[in-house]
């Protein structure tokens, strides 16, 4: 299908190329390249160590920019080298399209039209995963990936695994840690963390079991993806989300941020109180080193305000730690027998605390639970009281 005149004008006005990573897809490669050439001559083909007839086919296209890997290095490395070449050639955007024939080059103008509306965004083609011939494992894998992308970035997408994408070359990260299929997850998560808008657009899809060759290895690649998501989740909880919290607060002003984004949030009084209770519980409980990780995990799981919970968890702010430790030991002494009473003065040593570890753990969990319940209840009644005053008829 040839582009319309208006589409062609838009394509010519946008400085983009199409990157085609390919590995042993000789059955569909020529059809894919010919269809792309209807829309642009700016094609970078990355032959990732193919052992079939790919090299012979590519000799028919000397006008195309070609990169040949001596051996298979993985789709991620193919895309990374494609990006590098596209940047050297001064392209602003790169559209990646798989060579297995599942995508339609006719959707390229849709990417270009959308990027004119939302410059510098990263667009991912959203496939209809419910249509005929779509493997169940692909549908499940996509849902799995969508969930973790949402957890790591807070953005809900319908399709995070599609290989038909548009990348803003100058904005995406310059260095990466993955080379295989999991690269396509790393690049969109880390791009989102950089503030790049990541968005789906609808595309057509063709799953032909007779032609399509998948190089996805369920066990190895799923393990790689799981390890990557573990690293990304930890990074998101420990660094990215707290960073974004303080950036937003600093940009708006802490007082205005507190009044507008926290006290005047759309959450009910119960949910605000529950967020404070969660923060207090995590802050006092004996999960040192994992408190922020656990806090953000449970706040996300329970759909509670992360900002309120995080602020409440600062009950364990350094100056208060000695009092919390002593309070935990004191409470624990009523429930754990055979412990030596401790006194909070200069004679209290780390060895004393270590000898009373069980007393401390039990006491801190009890103290955390009681403090969380009390703080939650007090907060709920105060919020309800002030709400009634604020909305009292004049």
pLDDT digits (tens, 9 = 90+) for 66-100: 999 999 999 999 999 999 999 999 999 999 999 99
Token code pair at residue 248:
């937003």
pLDDT of residue 243: 85
Token code pair at residue 334:
């009523």
pLDDT at 164 over 80: yes
Q: Of 136, 127, 133, 138, give the one whose Cα is nearest residue 205.
A: 127
pLDDT at 152 over 80: yes
Q: How far apart are CA 343 and CA 263, in angstroms?
A: 39
pLDDT of residue 294: 85
> Cα–Cα distances in Å, from 235 out to 153, 187, 238, 314?
11, 15, 5, 20
Q: How far apart are CA 349 and CA 9, in angstroms?
A: 76
pLDDT at 390 over 80: no
Note the pLDDT tens digit of each residue in 304-339.
888 788 878 877 766 677 778 888 888 888 887 655
Q: Of 180, 179, 177, 183, give the one whose Cα is nearest residue 160.
A: 183
Strand ranges (E), 159-304:
165-168, 198-202
Strand partners, 19: 44, 96
pLDDT band at 214 (very low <50, low <70, confident <90, very high): low
pLDDT of residue 391: 64
pLDDT of residue 181: 87
pLDDT band at 217 (very low <50, low <70, confident <90, very high): low
pLDDT of residue 328: 84
Q: What share of the chain in percent tops pLDDT 70?
A: 84
In this prediction the pTM is: 0.70
Written as one string, the DSSP assignment of 339-384 is PPP--SSTT--HHHHHHTHHHHHHHHHHHHHHHHHHHHHHHHHHHH
């Amino acid at each position: 299908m040839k582009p319309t005149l208006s589409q062609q004008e838009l394509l010519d006005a946008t400085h983009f190329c199409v990157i085609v990573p390919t590995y042993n897809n000789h059955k569909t490669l020529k059809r894919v390249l010919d269809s792309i050439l209807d829309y642009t001559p700016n094609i970078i083909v990355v032959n990732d160590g193919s052992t079939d007839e790919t090299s012979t086919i590519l000799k028919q296209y000397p006008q195309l920019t070609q990169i040949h890997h001596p051996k298979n290095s993985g789709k991620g490395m193919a895309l990374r080298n494609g990006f590098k070449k596209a940047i050297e050639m001064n392209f602003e955007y790169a559209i990646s399209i798989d060579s297995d024939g599942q995508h339609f080059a006719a959707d390229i103008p849709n990417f270009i039209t959308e990027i004119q509306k939302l410059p510098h965004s990263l667009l991912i083609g959203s496939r209809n995963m419910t249509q005929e011939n779509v493997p169940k494992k692909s549908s499940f894998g996509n849902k799995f990936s969508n969930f973790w992308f949402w957890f790591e970035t807070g953005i809900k997408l319908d399709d995070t695994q599609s290989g038909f994408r548009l990348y803003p070359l100058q904005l995406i990260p310059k260095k990466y840690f993955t080379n295989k299929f999991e690269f396509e997850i790393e690049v969109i998560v880390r791009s989102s963390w950089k503030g790049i808008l990541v968005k789906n657009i609808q595309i057509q899809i063709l799953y032909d079991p007779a032609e399509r060759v998948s190089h996805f290895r369920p066990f190895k690649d799923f393990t790689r993806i799981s390890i990557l998501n573990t690293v990304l989740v930890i990074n998101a909880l420990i660094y990215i989300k707290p960073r974004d919290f303080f950036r937003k607060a600093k940009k708006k002003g802490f007082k205005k941020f507190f009044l507008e984004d926290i006290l005047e949030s759309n959450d009910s009084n119960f949910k605000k109180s529950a967020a404070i209770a969660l923060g207090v519980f995590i802050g006092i409980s004996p999960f040192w080193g994992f408190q922020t990780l656990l806090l953000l995990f449970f706040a996300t799981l329970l759909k509670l305000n992360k900002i309120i919970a995080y602020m409440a968890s600062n009950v364990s702010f350094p100056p208060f730690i000695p009092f919390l430790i002593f309070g935990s030991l004191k409470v624990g002494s009523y429930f754990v027998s055979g412990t030596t009473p401790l006194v909070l003065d200069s004679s209290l040593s780390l060895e004393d605390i270590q000898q009373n570890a069980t007393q401390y753990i039990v006491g801190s969990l009890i103290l955390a639970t009681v403090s969380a319940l009390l703080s939650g209840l007090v907060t709920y009644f105060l919020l309800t009281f002030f709400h009634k005053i604020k909305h009292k008829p004049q």
